[in-house]
Structure 1
Amino acid sequence: MKISELVKMALVNILGNKVRAFLTALGVIVGAATIILVVAVGKGGQASVAQQFAKLNAGTIFVMSSQSGTYKKPLTTKDVAAIREKAPAVGQVTVLINGKAESSFNNRDYRGDVVGVFPEAQPLNNLKVQAGRFISQDDNKQRNKVVVLGSEVAKELFGDDTVTALSSTVKVHQRNLKVVGVLERLGDATGGVNFDESAIVPYEVAEKYILGTTVYPRMVAQARDLASVPAAMSQIAGVLRETHRLRGDDDFFLRDAGSKLAAAQDSARTMSLMLVIVATIVLVVGGIGIMNVMLVSVKERTREIGILKAIGARKKDILLQFLLEAVIISLAGGIVGVSLGLLMLPLMKYAGLKAIPSTLGVVLGMVFSVATGTFFGYYPAKKAADLSPLEALSYD
């Protein structure tokens, strides 16, 4: 028999049992839609990780004081000076201090962070000034009562009026500080500090007048290049052990941005893999449904199979007819499932998930759907093809 005739016969049988065909395809529909969502969410997760670390150099190293029971000595400006002198693999290094504080102007308040910095914090954290200037070395030497506002703080206190902001005095932790700059939006926190939600002040001002000694300073360093990161970390650790006169455990710990990026990427990949496994399980369940329905269909159409064989249909023709039915059902289910998945993508933002549609998701959805129908439809089709004509005709 010609393929066109077999396809026509398969379509007639499917259309003759529309409800059954829909229920058979339901598992494939859900599976294909799941694959579309899984791939989109996976790509969204990878994009979010890339965006989060895009403004952070992979050669950046964070140094934090240990807050365990073995804590002995905080990080200081003397440690920074020693690292600059004795750690040749380190290109830049600075110390900063941060803690919670309320910023206010007139009747507007913003509860965020206050961060004490030196000028080196700007290039190390990729901070860009939208208006005005950043904290200078003179501000620290003279302990000037000035502040640079993060984008969120400035927006909450002044809206989009940066002109008014630069001519105003705000209260930070009940201290009057003159606004000298407003930062551009940075995005996600870097090294545990969200500069968008912070009031940035001179380090000496934060330490003496606002935060005192109740918080732990931290350092941000940058290796001369990516290949120098291990050497830079080793040299920083050696210098700190020397300046802190340690004989036992370290009273600090180091973390490089590259390892954080790798860990975040691994987490995103693991989550994507888990979601793919879930989608595969859904498709397998859908495939089992196809096989069960096709087995029932073979039993119901036993006499029809006998008649076809009696008039000259070959085993190959019977096999192809039933296999085509399974493939057509799964193909239709794949098309509906992919379309449904694409329509559901905009809803992902309401679940707090970033989803990016891709050609890969569509291709995988269709390939897995057809493969499911072919794999699970083969056994019923073969069983139909192997029926004896005499047994089939005599079946009641």
Structure 2
Amino acid sequence: MSKEDYLKLYEKYLAGTCSQAEEALLMNYQDGFELLDLPWDTKEMGDQEQTRQMIFNRLQPEIRPRKVLRLNTLVRWSAAAVLLLALSVGLYRLNSRKAAVQLAGQAVNKFFKNDVPPGKDKAVLTLADGSEIVLEGKKNGILAQQGAANLRIDGGQLVYEPAAGPDVSDQQVNTISMPRGGKYQVILSDGTKVWLNAASSLSFPAVFGTKKRVVRLKGEAYFEVAKSNRLSIVNGKAIAERVPFIVETAAQSVAVLGTHFNISSYDEEVMTRTTLLEGSVRVSAIKGNIQQLLKPGQQALLNPEKGSIAVSAANLEEAIAWKNDIFMFEDEDIHSIMRKISRWYDVEVVYKGELKGTKFGGTASRSDNLSEVLKALELTGTIHFSINGRTVTVMP
């Protein structure tokens, strides 16, 4: 592998566009960096100092030191350090193209003997009569008809469409449930779009009534609520009135008209988080009878035990990162991070030894295998992991 080939491969790694074979080849080259007695080949590699400076200039825009350790920063720093070290002591070169192909094709994971694939689109729809429909792998088309609604699959999402038939309004309540390691999208009969995260469920009527639209959430979901009007007669005149959309959880009620927001309400989390991206919402605590009106860019943290609601500026990118298949950690402790990982990869987490209170931050792809996310965390040097079947052990 020439210098230019190596640099191009490393730039692809930093950009996150490496194929599995290319990444395997790159990792095996890193294994060869321990051969520090290899001489610098000026003829093939060019001037040592000039090459070092060129690498530094290429990596400089990508390296942003932070006060708190960041996964993405750490990966780039580690990559830069390894690359500069390699170029200062000489690159390990394979003896033949055949050896390179063998290394690229290796499937053995350097860090973990076991691995777990990421979650995927899968859910179970429970109809009002108790019958269940497994949605994973369903092809486009109509699944069933409920009163004045057709239930169909369209492009990997569940769609409720108003149809001709008896108007049962909100009498028939269905539930779509995501297992651990699953996610799904649903379009409700009013046009509201809902993205559901792993280990979550949403109960909703096949067709909404005319006075209000009520759904019940467990877990996490992102909503894009459609505006809905009803006609009322006031003093002989027809007046269009907005039909409120209400999301109920175990600890709160969120009332909206037409807006975009995210709610995270897992039983194992201390706080219920409501993050507003667009429009306005009113968050009401079931305990304590406290209400807060959110503006775009704000987040409400509700403590179910105390019934208190704290409002602060939100990191909108972090709040909906899961919807875009990204892990984004914002100064989080390892227990919080592992709860998210556990839900998405459907693994159990056990802790061994005393773990320091290090905070982590940064991003990782939810499309990667579990080992890739854990390797990024291990780059901090403060934590280590092992995978045994579907159990992850966390160690100092």
Normalization by structure 2: what TM-score?
0.21
Report which of the two has the higher share of strand.
Answer: 2
User: Relative contact order, CA 8 A, sep 6+: which one is greater?
Assistant: 1
Normalization by structure 1: what TM-score?
0.21
Larger Rg: 1
Report which of the two has the higher share of helix.
Answer: 1
